A and B are shown apart, each in its own frame.
Chain A
Amino acid sequence: MNIFKLSIKNLFYRPLSSLLSLLLLALGVSMISLLVLINSVVRDQMNNNLKGIDMVVGAKGSPLQLILSSVYHIDSPTGNISLKEARSIEKNPMVGNSVPLLYGDNYEGFRIVGTNEKFIELYNLSIENGSFWDNEFDVVVGKKIATKLNLKVGDTFVSSHGLNQTGEVHADSPFTIVGIANFSNSVADQLILTSAESVWGIHEEHDHDEEHDHDEEHDHDEEHDHDEEHDHDEEHDHDEEHDHDEEHDHEEEHEHDDDKEITAMLIKFDSPMNVIQFPRYINENTNLQSAVPSYEISRLFKLFGFGIETINLLAYLIIVVSGISIFITLFNSMKERKYDMALIRTLGGSRLQLSSMLVYEALTLTISGFIIGIILSRLGLVFISNLMESSFNYSLNSYGILNDEFWLLAISILIGLIACLIPSIQVYKMDISKTLSNE
């Protein structure tokens, strides 16, 4: 038996008030810790997927939606853009690298993305099993999907139209899995990758009628621009009209190609300075929309920021209340326990031992409350991760102790020390003679 064991026994002797203090602290700690965790995990995930993407070009709409759909693959796309327009942007000297993205279908809720080998470079993908796609309807599936749906190289599946599992099934053109990608800890883990041609192929009949008119409008605008530039450059050229015709011919020939659409294009600039000029140039001079992911994401965090701050404040308030509860528990128990304490002194215990008993009690409550809180926050993260997994196919996994949590531990200990300060001073000063005579 020693003073620390005595403190533990004392806590168990008053189980309800101990439990209340413990729960309050655990609740406060778990709330803050969960917020810190989610914040850090989400930020990590977001930033990890942002690597190498300076700008996204897509159809007009909400820039945040464009980023969420084409960088994080969680929202629906803003619409499609013509391949021709996308190519003209690609040719701009400011553009360093560009990756086309083409949506259309899903398999079991996982998005099928039509793209090219540049996507593989962007996310640094490697193949664990099999190879990258060669032919139409060859696909490479992300590691997470392969694990979850138990897919192997050589398996075939039919996709459903749209991004929901409930879409119409394209039973006539099944996909064949030719490769399974290694885990890349990026969004690519939850995507099914294929060539753009595969996605065009599957929707050829559908899209032809639907969006033809729209395309033509686009074409006209662009032609107009072209003409102007052309005129300017070659003012004195007598073959001007001839050139024009040729261009038209050229377009006629490739009409099939120009009809084609992509959903978005991820762009990396050669020089970081271009991030300032180029997006504005696109938004002002074309029918396309450009969005800068880092800017949109910081805007998103700002939007969430207010809510997070409020919950944070509430959680700290709960921790303070738990401190007050510990104080009241100790203070009340002092009255009940004054003979116990006088007895400890008569048995040879010192003032310091008596005070340390109360300090141990307070610290045991706060530290175990902290540990319970940390465990609760991890359970909470598992829960939220499962929730995100089922709705967005996104998962959060990082269960290590973060720096902020060491601060939280320090704060918990401080609260415990403050709560036991007055009781332990009173016990230290206790007049045992008076206490014992009052019996």
Chain B
Amino acid sequence: MIKTKSLKFSYDGKKYFDFPDINLDSGENLLIIGNSGIGKTTLLHLLAGILKPESGSIGISGTDISKFSDTELDKFRGDNIGIVFQKPHFISSLTINENLKLAQYLSPSKTSGDAKKILESLNIKDKYRQKPNQLSEGEKQRASIALALINSPGLILADEPTSSLDDFNCDNVIKLLKKQAKDHRAQLIVITHDARLKKHFKKNLNL
């Protein structure tokens, strides 16, 4: 259950972003679509608790995070939100397995998933002991999905997951994301300018 109300944000106190309200029941996914510069990433950061709104509320699974302190946000994010970035990020000094272990360490209160099982479901189990820079781009993206899923979050946020992919791979990735979200009983919000994704989502929000 994701609910935002009258969400307002400003970087400099002059130009304000006003975001339409989001109303998402549990089990529902959402595609947020809009052109560059319109505040897509800002909205994703607000939902992820990386930015704090000027005004308005953000309710995730019944908790309003808009008034949380930085530390509370870090903890809430670690426990409840998985983020898939456009360009996959890892701790470069750690192997894929160690990256997953670190994610588990950083949110200790959460009963986390089995790293091997997740990697297996993403078809990259054999990359277990490898460093991120030894993986191909496609493998990296799947590994970053594993990183987003490891702590069994209730919400998965994906930022432009398909913008650099061809049609074939675009389809594969979005299907994979939806399947993984479903398997982990998480809600998926994808933020993109990629119109190809519209057909995959029942609920769309245009910015």
A340 touches B71 (CB 8 A): no
Q: Which residues of B contact A437 (CB under 8 A)?
A: 41, 45
Q: Which residues of A contact B74 (CB under 8 A)?
A: 345, 348-351
Question: Nearest Cβ in chain B — how far from A155, in angstroms?
Answer: 65
A337 within 8 A of B: yes
B98 touches A9 (CB 8 A): yes
* Interface hits, A326-359 → B, CB 8 Å: 337, 339-340, 342-351, 353
Interface centre among A10, A346, A439 (most CB of B within 10 A): A346
Q: Which residues of A contact B92 (CB under 8 A)?
A: 13, 337, 340
In the complex the two chains form, what is the Cα distance from A253 to B147 in whole Å? 107
A281 within 8 A of B: no
B78 within 8 A of A: yes
In the complex the two chains form, what is the Cα distance from A81 to B70 in whole Å? 88
> Which of B71, B86, B89, B107 meets A342, CB within 8 Å?
B89
* Interface hits, A175-222 → B, CB 8 Å: none
Q: Which residues of B contact A337 (CB under 8 A)?
A: 92
Q: A6-B93, A10-B93 are in contact. Are A349 and B45 (CB under 8 A)?
A: no
> Which of A13, A343, A353 meets B89, CB within 8 Å?
A343
Taken residue by residue from 26 to 59, chain B's Cβ proximity to chain A (1 for < 8 Å, 0 otherwise) reads as: 0000000000000001100100101100000000
In the complex the two chains form, what is the Cα distance from A49 to B75 in whole Å? 67
A1 within 8 A of B: yes
Q: A12-B93, A433-B51 are in contact. Are A347 and B86 (CB under 8 A)?
A: no
* Interface hits, A1-53 → B, CB 8 Å: 1-3, 6, 9-10, 12-13
A346 touches B91 (CB 8 A): no
B83 within 8 A of A: yes
* Interface hits, B57-71 → A, CB 8 Å: 70-71
Q: Which residues of B contact A348 (CB under 8 A)?
A: 74-75, 77-79, 103, 106-107, 151
> Which of A6, A345, A436, A439 meets B102, CB within 8 Å?
A6
A432 within 8 A of B: yes
Number of interface residues of B (CB under 8 A): 33
B48 touches A346 (CB 8 A): yes
Question: Nearest Cβ in chain A — how far from B70, in angstroms?
Answer: 7
Q: Which residues of B contact A433 (CB under 8 A)?
A: 42, 45, 50-51
B24 within 8 A of A: no
Residue of B whose beta carbon sits closest to that of A341: B91
Taken residue by residue from 421 to 439, chain A's Cβ proximity to chain B (1 for < 8 Å, 0 otherwise) reads as: 0000000000011001101
Q: A1-B98, A9-B98, A350-B71 are in contact. Are A344 and B51 (CB under 8 A)?
A: no
8 A–B contacts, CB within 8 A, in A order: A1-B102, A13-B93, A339-B89, A343-B89, A346-B50, A346-B83, A348-B78, A350-B75
List B residues at the A interface (Cβ < 8 Å).
41-42, 45, 48, 50-51, 70-71, 74-75, 77-79, 83, 85-87, 89-94, 98, 101-107, 147, 151
List A residues at the B interface (Cβ < 8 Å).
1-3, 6, 9-10, 12-13, 337, 339-340, 342-351, 353, 432-433, 436-437, 439
Counting from the closest, the 8 A-B pairs by CB-CB distance are A348-B78, A13-B93, A1-B101, A348-B107, A348-B106, A343-B89, A9-B93, A1-B102
Known A349-B106, A351-B71; 5 more pairs at CB < 8 Å = A1-B105, A9-B91, A347-B103, A348-B75, A348-B151
